[in-house]
Amino acid sequence: MKSPRLPFVHGPTPIVHLPALDALVGTEVWVKRDDATGGAEAGNKLRKLEFLLADARAKGTKVVLTCGALQSNHARATALVAARLGMRSILFLRTEDPSAEPPWSGNVLLDRLVGAEIRRITPAQYRERAALMESAAQEAWRGGEQPYVIPEGGSNGLGALGYVDAMRETARQLALGLCGEIRRFDLVAHACGSGGTAAGIALGCARYDVAPAVRAFAVCDDAAYFHKVIEHIIVEARTYEPELDASATLVVDDQAKGPRYGQMSAEQLVFLRDVVRATGLVLDPVYTGKALFGLARAVERGDVPRGSRVLFVHTGGLPGLLASFDDPSSDMLAALS
């Protein structure tokens, strides 16, 4: 790939096989540890930011604007790497009550620590986030600062190249024999929140022959919505890298979203807990926990054949887990005790 890129990711990230996980999921699962792409800035977003911030730097950016939920992993990763490049950041974070100061925990703690400017907005304002960020960008222009706007989740064509590259990295690990005798997985599975990771993985799987199929587990919205969004990102990614002319078969599975965004069912929480206790692998309740739970259910239903060799991309999210006990009345506490 020719697109400029900054070397943020501590890679190649390991791919590990935990036999106790196979038993919990019902098939052979290898885990790509993209939760370990870095230190506090780690997670899947760092791969997208390698391309997005290379573009921002080339344009002389002084201030980066982005958005997400209050405990957005993407916003936190953006603020941390922007600081590394000497850029300040403005984060538009969605919360039910913007007047209430949120606990300084998880991602918010890191956002505060790095000095990001946090603008708390309502869910209704969040629906107008593109316009809100555009007007803040205009304000920065007028103040003499070159702005750079990154959409929700870093999910656009340029950001998706980060996951094309992750699949190139995976193909190399397969060729080196780092996944036993496996030379190609049957499936790549991962959590889907804004579609960029899915788009990049689908393109990268085809380009580097990592797997013929991808299953993206939606944590919000639904399959029809994500198919449209992901297709749009794929088309945009091809404007940067036209040789990405094929993509793996992509299924968006929206059956493991749980009660709502950011909240797990008791059954999902118990699964998350069982995974940690059996393997030491820590998932998060917003993304990866739901995705792996969804994979286990898909195997149970027969949608993913037993015996499939699956690469599960662990996309991070630990700070979100560490903030999920802020509310002492939360069901999380009871389910995990």
Ligand X SMILES: Cc1ncc(COP(=O)(O)O)c(C=O)c1O
Looking at residue 50, the DSSP 8-state letter turns out to be H
Give the interface segment with ligand X, choosing from 117-125, 195-203, 249-257, 292-300 (CB under 6 A). Answer: 195-203
Active site residue 72: yes
Q: Does 155 bind ligand X (CB under 6 A)?
A: yes
Q: How open is the CA angle 85-62-122, to the nearest 5 degrees? A: 105
Q: Which is nearer to ligand X, 142 or 260 (CB)?
A: 260
Interface residue with ligand X, options 157, 294, 316, 319 (CB under 6 A): 316
Selected from 73, 78, 95, 173, the binder of ligand X by CB under 6 A is 73
Q: Is the peptide bond before 12 cis (omega within 30 degrees of 0)?
A: yes
- Judged by beta carbon, residue 147 or residue 319, the one nearer ligand X is 319
**Could you tell me if 147 and 117 are in contact, meaning their C-beta atoms sit under 8 angstroms apart?**
no
44 contributes a contact to ligand X by CB under 6 A = yes
| Region binding ligand X by CB under 6 A among candidate stretches 13-21, 54-62, 268-276, 281-289 | 281-289
- Tokens in use for 66? 């982005």
Q: Is 61 left (phi over 0), alpha (psi -120 to 50) or beta?
A: beta
Residue number with CB closer to ligand X (196 or 258):
196
Rounded-to-integer distance, Cα 148 and Cα 175, Å:
38
The structure tokens listed for 201 are 């993985």
> Cβ closer to ligand X: 89 or 197?
197
Backbone region of residue 305 per phi and psi (left: phi > 0; alpha: psi in -120 to 50; beta: other values): beta
Among 89-97, 125-133, 251-259, 283-291, which window interacts with ligand X (CB under 6 A)? Answer: 283-291
Q: Which residues are catalytic?
A: 72
Interaction site with ligand X (CB under 6 A) = 43-44, 73-74, 153, 155, 191-198, 284, 287-288, 315-317
